Chains A and B, each alone.
Chain A
Amino acid sequence: MSIVDKLLEIDQRIIYAILFIALAFPILNPVILPMSIQSYSQQAFDFSDNIPEGSIVLFEGGLTAATYPQGGPGMVVQIYHMLTKGVKVIFFSIGTEQTVWTMTAIDTALAKLPAGTPAENGVNWVHLGYIAGGEAGVGSLVNDIRATVQADYFNTPIDDIPLLEGVNDATSLSAVLWWGGSEASIGYGVRQVSVPFDVPMTGMCTTNEVPNFSPYISAGQLQGLFGGVRGSAEYEYLLGLPGPALGQAMATNFGGLLWMIMVILGNVLYFIKKMGGEA
């Protein structure tokens, strides 16, 4: 068996081991390389930065245990950004697990806030918790909050929450910030809130879903999009709040580079074999 055949028939477990080392190395030895900001992230940041003080925004937290490491740092930074700007935030999740991770992000952001920043639960932010029903649940929530939920995440009755005084539908909202992760739910926000109520919206999704939602940006239905860990890293960078996403983005670069080398190598070896008349 020639060296070309041996390389083409390599045990996949060896590739996994090489990949594991390539990914673990930059995590154990963090290196921050210069990075450019993608236009979608810049647009989303600029939009968020221009939300006026005192506005009320709807925030869907759709990250899970799998996607929180990618989107969580960005979500934390966005919550920090909104609260330091004096924007009031209504959180909710359309998944059960996501509710807990949204609370984790809120707690992390609250711990980072500068002393004296108003961030009182029920006044500056409220977490409505899990809303069942997927897109139908979102439609119900933005049309009539009180008919959809009785109490928030902490079991406080909706009518006892100062932030929600006079707020019962999407007409009171200035923006929607949709951290959908891998839920593929950004379309829910566009269809149920952004288009019918004419409320501007930004989104976050995992890297693989960026091509699915980028048409919404071209159509002006999304004001920007943070994609995966890179989107989170860019938000951290743009807000000047370096965090874990920047280090992870570098590890993704290493992994992506290795993957690209393997794809090119595989193709080159295949053509060498083909030219030798073996294929």
Chain B
Amino acid sequence: MDAEILGLIAGSLVSLGAYSVLIGDNPISRITENIYMGILGGYFFAQNWDFISKNALGKVANGEYVYIIAIILSLMLLGRLKPEYLWISRYPVVFTVGVGLGLSVRTTVMADFVGQIQATLLPWNSLNNIVMIIGTCLTAAYFIFTTQKSGLYNYVHTGGRVFLLCAFGVAYGQTVSFRLELVIGRLVAMLDPRVSMYTYAFLVIIAAILIYGYKTDKIVWYKGR
């Protein structure tokens, strides 16, 4: 049996365990969550350690001593592990946030501000352009809180709210679609003809455990909606 099939079988078992939370909180779903968090934490640590050893320790070993600063900052982050040394970890965090902010701000004005304003300066020659211009102006006007909401501005405010609600509707629809795609992705892997028999077997085993748990009151039946 090759690694891909083993991965699919393990994925099938873990996915069913995770989805069992839909019936209600139960030991199988909690075990699955803990396994996932444990594996992810270990993997994340190993990958980051590999990155540091290759790109910081390796460079120091090659005589580029400036990277000692990066290593010291990394070690200072471990101060978070003990509450009395928490303050030590704040310095690398401040440094990282500052660098990230500086790097993003230098082009944010062009990418997220000027570019977006330019994109709204459109000719009034198509319905799309008209909706874009009116929608942008009304939505921006909705957030002017210093103006009295009366008279003509009342219509502007309502128009802005309508555009915002449309945008929220689109975002909701897209989110539903995304969640469905996540489930479909798992189902495609679980129902792969090479492993579907394992999926059905796991389904039966998990169902039997849960039914036994509920019947004997070892698992509390969720009585919500």
Does A28 reach chain B (CB closer than 8 Å)? yes
Binary interface encoding of chain B residues 91-118 relative to chain A, with 1 for a CB under 8 A from any of its CBs, else 0: 0000010011001101110111001101
- Assuming the A-B contacts A190-B111, A219-B116, are A211 and B54 also in contact, with contact meaning beta carbons closer than 8 angstroms in the complex? no
**Contact A248–B185 (Cβ < 8 Å):** yes
Does B22 reach chain A (CB closer than 8 Å)? yes
Q: Name the distance in Å between B197's Cβ and chain A's nearest Cβ.
A: 14
Q: Name the distance in Å between B128's Cβ and chain A's nearest Cβ.
A: 10
**Contact B185–A218 (Cβ < 8 Å):** no
- Assuming the A-B contacts A195-B110, A211-B167, are A27 and B188 also in contact, with contact meaning beta carbons closer than 8 angstroms in the complex? yes
When C-beta atoms are compared, the residue in chain B nearest to A250 turns out to be B184
**Contact A208–B184 (Cβ < 8 Å):** no
> A248 is contacted by which of B106, B119, B188 (Cβ under 8 Å)?
B188
Q: Name the distance in Å between B180's Cβ and chain A's nearest Cβ.
A: 4
Binary interface encoding of chain B residues 149-181 relative to chain A, with 1 for a CB under 8 A from any of its CBs, else 0: 000000000000000000100110011111011
When C-beta atoms are compared, the residue in chain B nearest to A205 turns out to be B178
Binary interface encoding of chain B residues 182-225 relative to chain A, with 1 for a CB under 8 A from any of its CBs, else 0: 11111111010000000000000000000000000000000011
- Assuming the A-B contacts A96-B48, A207-B174, are A219 and B118 also in contact, with contact meaning beta carbons closer than 8 angstroms in the complex? yes
**Contact A228–B107 (Cβ < 8 Å):** no
**Contact A259–B180 (Cβ < 8 Å):** yes
**Contact A248–B181 (Cβ < 8 Å):** yes
Residues of chain B lying within 8 A (CB to CB) of residue A251: 180, 184, 187-188
- Assuming the A-B contacts A24-B187, A24-B191, A219-B116, are A256 and B177 also in contact, with contact meaning beta carbons closer than 8 angstroms in the complex? yes
Does A80 reach chain B (CB closer than 8 Å)? no
User: Which of B103, B108, B178, B181 has most A Cβ within 10 Å?
Assistant: B181
Does B38 reach chain A (CB closer than 8 Å)? no
In chain A, positions 107-155 with a C-beta closer than 8 Å to chain B are 130-136, 139, 148-151, 155
Does B47 reach chain A (CB closer than 8 Å)? yes
Total A-B residue contacts, Cβ distance less than 8 Å? 154
Does B23 reach chain A (CB closer than 8 Å)? yes
Does A86 reach chain B (CB closer than 8 Å)? no
**Contact A208–B118 (Cβ < 8 Å):** no
**Contact A28–B96 (Cβ < 8 Å):** no
**Could you tell me the distance between the alpha carbons of A23 and B191 in the complex, rounded to whole angstroms?**
11
Binary interface encoding of chain A residues 1-28 relative to chain B, with 1 for a CB under 8 A from any of its CBs, else 0: 0000000011111001001100110011
**Could you tell me the distance between the alpha carbons of A10 and B167 in the complex, rounded to whole angstroms?**
29
When C-beta atoms are compared, the residue in chain B nearest to A65 turns out to be B11
**Contact A221–B103 (Cβ < 8 Å):** no
Q: Name the distance in Å between B218's Cβ and chain A's nearest Cβ.
A: 19
> A221 is contacted by which of B40, B52, B115 (Cβ under 8 Å)?
B115
Does B43 reach chain A (CB closer than 8 Å)? yes
Does B132 reach chain A (CB closer than 8 Å)? yes
- Assuming the A-B contacts A150-B54, A196-B107, A211-B171, are A130 and B182 also in contact, with contact meaning beta carbons closer than 8 angstroms in the complex? no
> B185 is contacted by which of A70, A97, A149, A192 (Cβ under 8 Å)?
A70
**Contact A132–B115 (Cβ < 8 Å):** no
**Could you tell me the distance between the alpha carbons of A60 and B112 in the complex, rounded to whole angstroms?**
21
- Assuming the A-B contacts A99-B47, A195-B110, A195-B111, are A70 and B181 also in contact, with contact meaning beta carbons closer than 8 angstroms in the complex? yes
Residues of chain A lying within 8 A (CB to CB) of residue B22: 13, 16
Does A44 reach chain B (CB closer than 8 Å)? no
**Contact B186–A187 (Cβ < 8 Å):** no
**Could you tell me the distance between the alpha carbons of A23 and B132 in the complex, rounded to whole angstroms?**
35
Residues of chain A lying within 8 A (CB to CB) of residue B87: none
**Contact A248–B184 (Cβ < 8 Å):** yes
Does B90 reach chain A (CB closer than 8 Å)? no
In addition to A19-B183, A248-B188, A256-B177, 19 A-B residue pairs with Cβ atoms within 8 Å of each other are: A10-B225, A12-B225, A16-B22, A24-B187, A27-B184, A69-B181, A69-B189, A70-B182, A96-B47, A136-B99, A148-B55, A150-B59, A155-B54, A191-B111, A196-B107, A207-B174, A207-B181, A211-B174, A252-B184
Q: List 10 A-B contacts (CB under 8 A).
A: A27-B191, A68-B185, A69-B181, A136-B100, A192-B103, A192-B107, A215-B119, A221-B115, A244-B188, A256-B176
Chain A interface residues (CB < 8 Å from chain B):
9-13, 16, 19-20, 23-24, 27-28, 65-70, 96-97, 99, 130-136, 139, 148-151, 155, 182, 187, 190-192, 194-196, 206-211, 215-216, 218-221, 228-229, 244, 247-248, 251-252, 255-256, 259
- Nearest first, the 7 closest Cβ-Cβ pairs linking A and B are A69-B185, A96-B47, A219-B119, A208-B178, A255-B180, A219-B115, A207-B178
